[in-house]
Structure 1
């Protein structure tokens, strides 16, 4: 069945790709779409207070179609939210000019680009019904379904991203999309990174390929979005600086400024996460409004997806860092997941009732290893296989200045229990002020590697039965760019799952807390402008009750940017320059386990309390945005106690540059 699906998908993908190649240059070709100002996965900043977007044509020198407007270049999310391509230069573009192409305020990056991130601020606004795959520390740059966008453009569009890396490497992200007709769009993109790094054995080499096709019939009754994603994320692992060399790093002795001389825990290991996904979402309107007076719309939709991924750890020789092993050389762990997903949904829209969707979905999963294990008189199986059937629905309705949203999902059969229900109400006070409240409840089965794990290292073998983790979240938010953006999250976590080292050992095991953890998170964002100068502030306060030594977060996280903006050379050049301070208070930071590619709880030492100062100069010339940054320039005079995780130092002072360039043909 899966092979048949792949064959049908590929045939359909290429058939759509080569159908209808007539060019379209009419100025009203995008009249079927309406843009909104909702930020779409970091692609737009038109809701930013310093947004400098233009509703006029883009550069006449670069665009062959003089009737094309910037608002005609559409980005469509997997939820069909539509935004426009943004070529402006804002402070938020500075925050997103990084490996993930996202704002990493809540994350602490490791020393080398392409490595993992430690989480400073947690987000439990999730609607998951199924367990997640293993190696979560490797998934920050793994593009999920919601990370793939579709496009509709009046002329071919290209975006090129480039940024320097650390020692013998670069990072690039190249994207191209074209509409061969009003009905058909295709896009192709590849993001690649290779960086040697400053420390021994931390080379990273990653690649993310994605291709999309969007199609709609002339009468708009049938709409299809499809994508293919091929991803491989490889990291050499060294286990961090050896404990005996930590004093050398923290001393600031010039002899150890060359970080390659510091001893690491091992130099012969690597892990890799690979995945491929085929996805198709298509719908047909059974009832379509014939004119503006008609109110009823009924559509039948279908989503089909197949994803195959694996995580592998390789090491040349057994290392006592993980304990005893079944063999001494050529160690290899490999775990796979195949997930085949089908969803049938019915959508009804009515001016008075609202937008209602009901769906029925089926997951066929196959997770595990190619062998069974018998250890300590315990038999550990090699596979978790089965089927899960779920139901769900969404609701959207605008009532005057109110916007109401609701979502629910429930697993009705199968080995994994799970459910979620979410409701949100937003009230628009004025054009620039909105208040909202959200409630979210989620119950999800433990991730697969909590339930079953096998390794060539003897201590990393278990088959466990844990309760579902339940979260209840209540959020209040005020969005007022001229005043401040404030959000308050009250979160309760029951049966929290975590990894932790066993007492007096060097290996980790999964655990579940019986306590009910209360997590308070308050976030404030405010920008002050005085002439050409601006001060952008983001501050987060966090407090945890009943989660001591289990759920550790810094009490305060802050980012403050003082910068100058101005036009030069008759407005041919737009320049931004300033300094950014990143800081979080000291806390028991989670440690990193390279064998499992997971973070685990540690309470032996507190980390943090060090400032990170970055100086940047950014410029925009036509559709090219140039970035130059002196990262962590204070590292030599504020102390060598900066860490991304225990035994894993953050970056020393370095200068990096790059560019994002859009071409409108």
Structure 2
């Protein structure tokens, strides 16, 4: 009880201090309203299954395992949902007005999503940000369901003279999914031979897995030299200490041992428990020393990782890694450059290299050029070296370090609402699962290239958004990419009721050319190569009505409205159909004060 009153007292203290600055922050509040009333990102909320104009490739239900078939995201799978965060924009302001975004999307039994995003500043000294996401997608086939609860939080505090800075961060992720391994006979679906989707035979009828991941981080920084250059800039010499604790447990339960997907895999028929489980945790200590004058910054660091890793039927191991790192930043009125480099000194990751550079150049108000590059030389995870379970077994005693070279460029012309980009990736000695779900280290280089253009334009009250991506891959099976990814959005926009209500009515069409998309193995949650069936060459069309009244967006969406009109070839993996036509209702509401 005493702790409660103490927290309440601190909260009120910050609030009172903030209220005393109200008059001086009137302009800031106007900037807040500019951010909060901006509805340019309404398409991101509507089409949260797209990322950079590329539709998701998943297991049929949102929240299930997925990847985006592009050069950048093929091996950088991310959990993407409505990328509409305004956190960075608001934190740059000196105001204190709290902000909350509540987004709820309902598609009946097929899918429900809830997202709560809150940002609050306590005067100039402290800030709080947290996000909660809940996904529930029961699916329409047997043993097909996705459930996720994700919480992320971030609290920052600095003293009035910026002598000391503190950051507390946490992430808690809980996933409980059923993944059926696809339909047993996809030709039944392509012929639409059964009336009800729940009647189709799937590859695995009784299985599910859970993923529990927790991450806690404490970062502290002491500016022991802080001398002012002018009213904005100052010379800072600082020492920092970071501590991070991370745990991750994945458990798989299988009650369908006769499933045909295990015909070519190892299977321990003597085991009494059909459970596969891996557990990993690490504790990281980082100490850094740096200099920053607002224009140039440099920071050196030493990282120490202590790892623990074990499997239900396999190894139980403890190992360490020690890194040295360097970060350099440079800012001018037109250019922002950041470079990072780390090297494994000893331990499990000895001689690892992880480096990157990002350059943003804005010579004029209408032109922005972005360049990024990276080089990685990484020791394969212990998971790839030794794994034993009820369903799979591999031992790789001599693996080479995985090597990745990446380059990306983007040119954005604000005046013409035009974006051009190019990405290229070269990979060598990377790990993948072949067509028999055997773990293989590819012993020669594979490259992928993506070239794209995005254009927004308007004719009268009709708005158009066009995106076209052309991709090249050196191996269509191991690193499959569709040659063409295309998207077209068109909508009519008008303001009604004395221009207080903005209404948009339109459609979205997404298309990928055919390619040998990955298949999925549920028991190890891994995508693997296949060279028998191509998917794609099918347009997905959505129709929507979106309204925006002050700070609230309300939309109605008919997703995949063309389902069945030109056959039943709409597949997300070679054995997983996309959802049929569905109706969705959603609300996204920005709240502050």
Which TM-score applies when normalising by structure 1?
0.80
Determine if the alignment matches structure 1 residue 226 to structure 2 residue 163.
Answer: no
Structure 1 Cα separation of the partners of residues 531 and 26 of structure 2: 62
Q: 2:192 aligns with which of 223, 234, 252?
A: 252
Determine if the alignment matches structure 1 residue 392 to structure 2 residue 325.
Answer: yes
Determine if the alignment matches structure 1 residue 369 to structure 2 residue 311.
Answer: yes
TM-aligned CA distance change 1:154 to 1:582, over 3 Å? same
Unpaired runs of 5+ residues, structure 2, are none
Determine if the alignment matches structure 1 residue 343 to structure 2 residue 286.
Answer: yes
Alignment RMSD:
3.2
* DSSP 3-state at the match of 1:247: helix
Report if aligned partners of 2:394, 2:439 keep a CA contact under 8 Å in 1. Answer: no
Q: 2:464 aligns with which of 531, 535, 539?
A: 535
Report if aligned partners of 1:527, 1:537 keep a CA contact under 8 Å in 2. Answer: yes
**2:200 corresponding residue in structure 1:** 262
Determine if the alignment matches structure 1 residue 612 to structure 2 residue 555.
Answer: no
**1:241 corresponding residue in structure 2:** 183
Structure 2 Cα separation of the partners of residues 142 and 159 of structure 1: 13
TM-aligned CA distance change 1:413 to 1:492, over 3 Å? same
Determine if the alignment matches structure 1 residue 466 to structure 2 residue 399.
Answer: yes
Determine if the alignment matches structure 1 residue 278 to structure 2 residue 216.
Answer: yes
Q: 2:39 aligns with which of 66, 89, 92?
A: 89
TM-aligned CA distance change 1:400 to 1:316, over 3 Å? closer
TM-aligned CA distance change 1:356 to 1:233, over 3 Å? same
Report if aligned partners of 1:553, 1:589 keep a CA contact under 8 Å in 2. Answer: yes
Q: Deviations over 1:488-510 (max 9, x none)?
A: 223221113211133xxxxx121
Structure 1 Cα separation of the partners of residues 103 and 80 of structure 2: 16
TM-superposed CA distance for 1:140, in Å, is: 2.9
Unpaired runs of 5+ residues, structure 1, are 1-11, 32-64, 74-83, 127-135, 373-381, 503-507
**1:310 corresponding residue in structure 2:** 249
Structure 1 Cα separation of the partners of residues 168 and 35 of structure 2: 20
Structure 1 Cα separation of the partners of residues 218 and 133 of structure 2: 22
**1:500 corresponding residue in structure 2:** 434
Report if aligned partners of 1:27, 1:67 keep a CA contact under 8 Å in 2. Answer: no
Q: Deviations over 1:104-131 (max 9, x none)?
A: 62532432222122321131799xxxxx
Determine if the alignment matches structure 1 residue 69 to structure 2 residue 60.
Answer: no
**1:5 corresponding residue in structure 2:** none
TM-superposed CA distance for 1:306, in Å, is: 0.3
TM-aligned CA distance change 1:605 to 1:100, over 3 Å? closer
Residues 208-607 of structure 1: matches in 2 within 5 Å? 208-243=150-185, 246-253=186-193, 255-256=194-195, 258-290=196-228, 292=230, 295-320=234-259, 321-323=261-263, 324-327=267-270, 330-350=273-293, 354-372=296-314, 382-399=315-332, 401-416=334-349, 417-457=351-391, 459-483=392-416, 484-502=418-436, 508-545=437-474, 547-607=475-535
TM-superposed CA distance for 1:29, in Å, is: 7.0
Q: Deviations over 1:241-293 (max 9, x none)?
A: 112xx22211134x42x211111112210011111111122212122233517
**1:19 corresponding residue in structure 2:** 10
Determine if the alignment matches structure 1 residue 196 to structure 2 residue 138.
Answer: yes
Residues 111-130 of structure 1: matches in 2 within 5 Å? 111-123=60-72
TM-superposed CA distance for 1:634, in Å, is: 0.8
TM-superposed CA distance for 1:618, in Å, is: 1.1
TM-superposed CA distance for 1:395, in Å, is: 1.6
TM-aligned CA distance change 1:410 to 1:367, over 3 Å? same
Report if aligned partners of 2:490, 2:506 keep a CA contact under 8 Å in 1. Answer: yes
Report if aligned partners of 1:559, 1:581 keep a CA contact under 8 Å in 2. Answer: yes
TM-aligned CA distance change 1:461 to 1:426, over 3 Å? closer
- Count of aligned pairs between the two proteins: 577
* DSSP 3-state at the match of 1:358: strand
Report if aligned partners of 1:316, 1:329 keep a CA contact under 8 Å in 2. Answer: no
TM-superposed CA distance for 1:18, in Å, is: 6.8
Report if aligned partners of 2:71, 2:423 keep a CA contact under 8 Å in 1. Answer: no
* DSSP 3-state at the match of 1:71: helix
TM-superposed CA distance for 1:349, in Å, is: 1.9
Structure 2 Cα separation of the partners of residues 477 and 141 of structure 1: 21
TM-superposed CA distance for 1:295, in Å, is: 4.5
Report if aligned partners of 1:13, 1:226 keep a CA contact under 8 Å in 2. Answer: no
Report if aligned partners of 2:42, 2:553 keep a CA contact under 8 Å in 1. Answer: no
Report if aligned partners of 2:228, 2:234 keep a CA contact under 8 Å in 1. Answer: no
Structure 1 Cα separation of the partners of residues 8 and 223 of structure 2: 23
TM-superposed CA distance for 1:518, in Å, is: 2.3
Determine if the alignment matches structure 1 residue 183 to structure 2 residue 122.
Answer: no
**2:59 corresponding residue in structure 1:** 110
TM-aligned CA distance change 1:586 to 1:420, over 3 Å? same
TM-superposed CA distance for 1:97, in Å, is: 4.0
TM-superposed CA distance for 1:486, in Å, is: 0.9
TM-superposed CA distance for 1:169, in Å, is: 5.6
TM-superposed CA distance for 1:580, in Å, is: 0.8
* DSSP 3-state at the match of 1:296: strand
Structure 2 Cα separation of the partners of residues 494 and 634 of structure 1: 41
TM-aligned CA distance change 1:397 to 1:536, over 3 Å? same
